[in-house]
Every structure is written in C-alpha cells, then in structure tokens.
Structure 1
Amino acid sequence: MPSPSSSASTDIHVEQRGEGHALVTISRPLRRNACDFAAWTDLKTAFETLGADPAVKLIVLTGAGGHFCAGDDVVAFSAVTDEAEKDVWRARIQACYAAVQSAPKPVIAAISGVCVGGGCSLAMCCDFRVGDATARVGVPVAKLGLVYPTIQLQRLSWLIGASNARRWVYEAALYDATESHRVGYLDALTEGDVTQAAFAFGAGMARAAPLSIAGSKAQLNAVLAGRVDQERERLDAMVLRADRSEDFREAAQAFAQKRPPVFRGR
C-alpha cells in the first residue's frame, strides 16, 4: 500500500471548464472506478485544492467509462494484510468523504452506471446527484456480511428517509434511476449527457454569492449532523463575514442599479 502521503496515482483527473466550473473524474474504468488507496488520497487532495480555490464556483464529480464509482477496490484492499495499514486505508476513505462534503462550493455528482457501496456513499457527500437512465444505485452490505458505517447510514436516511434506507440496506439490491429518483436519492434525471446536465443543474448556484453558499453549506452540514452547538462560533463568524463583505455591498448596489450582481467571494 502507498504511504499515507503518497499521491502517485493519476486516476483522478481535474479539469477547469471556465465560468468557475471544475470537473473531477475518477478514471479507473477497468475497476468500474472502484478506488484504491492512492485514488482515495488524490480525490481527497483534489477537493481540498478546489475548495480553497476562489476561482472555482461549482464542482461536478463523475466517473469515466460509463460508471460513477463501484466504491472501494476490494481486490487492492484485500491484498493488505497488516491491520494498522487497513486502519489507515479506512481512515483515508472517511477523510476523502469529509473533503467532498465540506468543500465550500456546490458539489454535484453526475451518475451513470454503477454507484454502489462506497460509491453510493461518495455521491451522498455531494450536495446534489444527477443521474441518467443507466444509473444503478445500491448498498450491498447485506450480501457481503458487512454493516454499513453509521455515518453513511445517517446520510442515506437524511436523503431517502428511514423506511427507504432500511429497505435499501436490508435488500442489498441495485435500484434503477427511476426508483432512485422517486425516493429522493437522485435530485434530477437526464436523457442527455449526465455531466452537462449536472453543470446545467448547478449553473445558477455558480452565479450566487460564494460566501453565502459556503456559510449556508456549513450551517446545513452542522444541522444535519446535530453539531450546531459545537460549531456555533464558526457558523456565527461566517454569518458576520458575509454581513460585512464586499459581495453584500455589491448586491445592494446591483439591486439599486437594476443589474445582475457580480460576486467575488470577498
């Protein structure tokens, strides 16, 4: 296994698409984009980097070769025999999820093909999920003799409700795009290119005030995780920063001048 600091993989591709749009692609098509340790590491780094880049307003995450992500690369993981190294691997996956969820920009998963296990979890860490007709979503832990990590089950319950989450986890089935949309896992369906549809879904968000998006996202994450009291100081500081921002003054001027505001994130 690569060391925790390794980033030798070239399986995570980042593309700047103009207008503040960024596309992150998991490119391990021979494994249906299942991620090994290096891929989880590079994905984490990509989202940390994009999250800190003021020029980036919207991030779309997708997979190459007609599939989103088949989760963890169980073949690579099973080759690791040292329990301490396995713990490092597991921690890296959770750190990757956290980097995606906490990125202070709108993040949209563009889902084709399989989105299962850890891939399902990865998509849940995004703000929204757009799928095409080929999307197949599921949590097959009951077929593997495993228990879904509690934080992932919590996220699934937020999205599709407790009853649907029970059914998904107990049945361990794959659900098609129509069913995944019906229960609320997918926010939108498209008959066209799923990546283009994801960028179109988030276009209005990319034009919104970045400090407002970042603050609202942090608030919502804290509310859903039941951590408002623990994070209140940080959240209140984000509210105050927005109140005092150039963007707020720009919005007021734009309203008076009857023109669209131009936000700069400061």
Structure 2
Amino acid sequence: MSDILVDRSREGVAVVTINRPHRRNACDFEAWTDLKAAFADLDRDPKVRLAVLTGAGGAFCAGDDIVAFSAVRDDVERAEIYRKRIQEAYAAVQQAAFPVIAAISGVCVGGGCSLAMCCDFRVGDASARVGVPVAKLGLVYPTIQLQRLAWLIGASNARRWLFEAGIYDIEESYRVGFIDALTEGDVVEAALEFGRDMSARAPLSIAGSKAQMNAILAGHVDAQRQALDALVDEADKSEDFREAAAAFAAKRTPRFLGR
C-alpha cells in the first residue's frame, strides 16, 4: 500500500497526503517515488484545477527518512539514484500545471521545507515549525533548494535561517514570507479556501503563467524562450480566451474548459 494518498472527492481538486506519521512523514525512496507518480498522474488530468499537499498525523514532512537513506549511503550508485528521485519528486510538484498549496501543520524541516517551497503557496496553522537545520548536521543545503529559499524569504533571512539552523514558529515563518496565510482552523480546509478562486480561473492561463514564473526565478527564460512563447500563443488562440470575451460581453461568469 502506498504512503501517498490522493483524495479526488472534490470536483477539480486533489488533496495529496503523505501518510507516514510514524516517521513524522519523512519520506523513504518508495514514498518519494509515489509522490512523484501522484503529481505526474494529476498533471496528466485536465480536470485537475488545484492540489493541496499535506501530511498525516499533525506533521507536514520531516524531509528524507534518514534511516532509509543510511541503508544506501555507502553505495555510490544507489545513493545517487535515491538523491535523484527526491529531486524528481520536487520537480513533479513544482512543474504541475495547476496551483499547488502546501497545508502545513507541525514539522516542515529539511527536505520537507524543500517540498513546501516547490508548492506555489503555503498555508500554516499555529503548530507549524519550519527550518533548514543543515548547520546542526554538518551538511550543506542543495543549491537549488537554497535558491528557492532565497526567492521566498530574501537573501538576508535565508542566511540567518541557515546559519542559525533554527526551527521557526508560525509567526516568524509568516513574517519573513515563507507562509502565505495563517489559519486557526483545519489547515487543509484553509488551503482549499485559499485556492478556491484560483481553481475557477482559466487553466491554460495559470499553466502558462506558472511556467513563466518558474523560468524567471530559475534564470532559465532565455533557454526556454521558445516553449514559453508557445504557451502565450496557445492561450491567444484558445477556446477559453474566446469564452472569456463572450462572457464579458454578456456580463456572465465564464466557463473555462482548459482548451
């Protein structure tokens, strides 16, 4: 049975849950693999307009399962495959064509913090604890993850978080911009509400804008210029654009079909 649960009971919405509460939702190789597959499957479904990523049992994700990785650490080839799979899981979340919102309770540290940063937005409750304590472990944070951290909270805050190696509460995480919205209620329901209006907007527009933002922040615009221009052209010629124009003229709400 997979440790990654996907709930599709709400129309157009998926709630993806890391279900390893015995490890505070730290992921082993199989969980990273299933997380990658879950988001790849959702990305292939044009009916999906929004996804929420969360963890079971009061924790978001404690990162990689150290015990599981220790079993392959001394095997160079297997360790590299393991590390690559983690990055592939991150990429599947970040590159999904629809908005992805992290619903964060409890620990969100290390690789869990990286996973949350691959989401488009982060909603947290009072129990959330966020950090990248690599300086307590004698490690160096992967450069791509540090790049994401600096995008979100700024270079000075990123340096402080890394050098202090702290675990920060919801107030600090919100203050620096890591958390986009706070809730005193159910964090998944709050994330769904946060994304409600987004799920009603034109899917091709959101997919194109998300691809553009990812390329801009990664410094890949020139390398991806042709593909990005194609997304602009696709939207210009889309049925959704014509529907939006007709709806505006008729003073009604448009019905977007993603084509």
Normalising by structure 1, we get a TM-score of: 0.96
Amino acid at match of 2:127: T
Residue 155 of structure 2 corresponds to residue 162 of structure 1: yes
Whole-angstrom distance in 2 between the partners of 1:188 and 1:248: 31
Give, in angstroms, the shift of residue 17 of structure 1: 2.9
Counterparts of residues 61-210 of structure 1 (less than 5 Å): 61-80=53-72, 81-210=74-203
Amino acid at match of 1:62: T
Give, in angstroms, the shift of residue 257 of structure 1: 0.8
Q: Which sections of structure 1, spanning at least 5 residues, go unmatched?
A: 1-8
User: What SS class does the counterpart of residue 224 from structure 2 fall into?
Assistant: helix
User: What SS class does the counterpart of residue 230 from structure 1 fall into?
Assistant: coil
Q: Which residue of 2 aligns with 1:60?
A: 52
Show CA shifts across 1:134-175 (max 9, x none). Answer: 000000100000000000000000000000000100111100
Amino acid at match of 1:210: P
Give, in angstroms, the shift of residue 18 of structure 1: 2.1
Q: Which residue of 2 aligns with 1:215?
A: 208
Whole-angstrom distance in 1 between the partners of 2:40 and 2:134: 29
Show CA shifts across 1:62-97 (max 9, x none). Answer: 000000000000011101231110000000000111
Q: 1:32 aligns with which of 24, 32, 37?
A: 24
Percent of paired sites with the same residue: 72
Q: Which sections of structure 2, spanning at least 5 residues, go unmatched?
A: none
Show CA shifts across 1:112-143 (max 9, x none). Answer: 00000000000000000000000000001000
User: What SS class does the counterpart of residue 110 from structure 1 fall into?
Assistant: strand
Whole-angstrom distance in 1 between the partners of 2:10 and 2:57: 24
Show CA shifts across 1:17-65 (max 9, x none). Answer: 3230100000000000000000000000001111111010000000000
User: What SS class does the counterpart of residue 174 from structure 1 fall into?
Assistant: coil
Residue 48 of structure 2 corresponds to residue 47 of structure 1: no
Where has structure 1 moved over 2 Å in runs of 4 or more?
Answer: none
Count of residue pairs brought into register by the alignment: 258
Whole-angstrom distance in 1 between the partners of 2:244 and 2:14: 25
Whole-angstrom distance in 1 between the partners of 2:94 and 2:247: 32
Normalising by structure 2, we get a TM-score of: 0.99
Whole-angstrom distance in 2 between the partners of 1:19 and 1:182: 33
